[in-house]
């Protein structure tokens, strides 16, 4: 699906100090990203702190993003969980007409076998009217979708169109790229590995940092897609330090701090997450200044 090549960003949910959703800031972030080279948005992913949002709040976030986006960029909706029947119910109840695909994380905490992961996604394909993007993030789920399982799903179900691969094992991504069906996409789910995966034959990244530095990250990814290696790596190394900084105290505390420094939102998160420390904010400011003058 060509719509989902390049830079996708996993949008945050901005909060006010009292914990309420800051909808004007969300609108500002959407407009800023559209104006600065982002290719598509992921709505209500992990970065959106969706686990702490009520059903009504999720609906309001979706409505805000849809209105702000005004059909300018493709939208992907995050619907996942560790109860297969509940995920199916959420998919069936969701209004999906404005979304091109569903991003669904591999079941977390339960630690299913590879067969369990396969059967979970098979059940989702039977329930969904929209294509599905697998999401493998072992650091959060405590289990890994092995390359063989990804390839099995990709080959058996044409409605499974991609994987957001956030395994720290870069070779796993290359095994999938090597043997995948032609139209199946491997999308990096790790900002640090985004360029290497793109150059290896991936389709880009679903990024956290991209929403704060869209011009730089978009340029890097598109240069990677064009196989302009030296130019792409020049940007990668320019922003490499800030990749680590924004995840130092967890996601999305770091990206919210960076967005706040850029004047796009406030830094607040919802418990059990806490906003970035003053030290981290200081370190991000120093690195951001270095980037701006380099």
Catalytic residue from among 164, 180, 256, 268: 164
Half-sphere exposure of 188 (CA within 13 A, CB side): 30
Q: What angle do CA 74, 77, 82 make, to 5 degrees?
A: 155
Catalytic residue from among 121, 135, 180, 268: 135
Residue for token digits 């990814």? 221
164 is catalytic: yes
Helix, strand and coil percent figures for the chain, each rounded to 5: 50, 15, 35
In the chain, DSSP assigns E strands to: 6-10, 40-43, 75-78, 101-105, 132-136, 160-165, 185-188, 204-207
Q: Is 107 helix (H, G, I), strand (E, B) or coil?
A: coil
| Angle, helices 114-127/147-156, rounded to nearest 10 degrees | 30
Nearest by Cα to 210 from 166, 258, 162: 258
Q: How many helices (H) and strands (E) does the chain have?
A: 12, 8
Encoded tokens for 8: 């996708």
| Phi (first) and psi of residue 79, to 5 degrees | -140, 110
Q: Is 94 helix (H, G, I), strand (E, B) or coil?
A: coil
Catalytic residues: 135, 164
């Amino acid at each position: 699906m060509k719509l989902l090549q390049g830079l996708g960003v996993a949008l945050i949910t901005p909060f006010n100090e009292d914990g309420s959703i800051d909808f004007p800031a969300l609108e500002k972030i959407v407009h800023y990203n559209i104006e600065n080279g982002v290719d598509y948005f992921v709505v209500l992913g992990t970065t959106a702190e969706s686990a702490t949002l009520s059903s009504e709040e999720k609906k309001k976030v979706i409505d805000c993003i849809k209105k702000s986006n005004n059909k300018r960029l493709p939208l992907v909706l995050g619907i996942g969980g560790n109860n297969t029947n509940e995920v199916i119910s959420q998919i069936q109840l969701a209004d999906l007409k404005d979304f091109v695909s569903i991003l669904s994380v591999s079941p977390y905490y339960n630690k299913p076998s590879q067969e369990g992961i396969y059967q979970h996604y098979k059940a989702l394909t039977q329930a969904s009217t929209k294509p599905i993007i697998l999401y493998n993030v072992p650091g959060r789920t405590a289990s890994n979708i092995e390359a063989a399982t990804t390839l099995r799903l990709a080959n058996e179900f044409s409605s499974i169109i991609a994987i957001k691969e956030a395994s720290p094992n870069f070779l796993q991504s290359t095994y999938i790229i090597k043997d995948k069906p032609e139209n199946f996409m491997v999308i990096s789910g790790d900002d640090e590995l985004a360029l290497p995966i793109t150059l290896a034959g991936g389709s880009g990244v679903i990024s956290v940092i991209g929403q704060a530095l869209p011009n730089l990250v978009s340029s890097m990814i598109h240069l990677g897609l064009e196989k302009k290696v030296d130019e792409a790596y020049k940007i990668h190394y320019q922003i490499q330090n800030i990749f680590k900084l924004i995840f130092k105290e967890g996601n999305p505390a770091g990206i919210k701090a960076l967005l706040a420094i850029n004047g796009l939102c406030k830094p607040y998160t919802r418990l059990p997450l806490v906003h970035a420390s003053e030290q981290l904010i200081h370190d991000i400011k120093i690195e951001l200044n270095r980037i701006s003058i380099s």
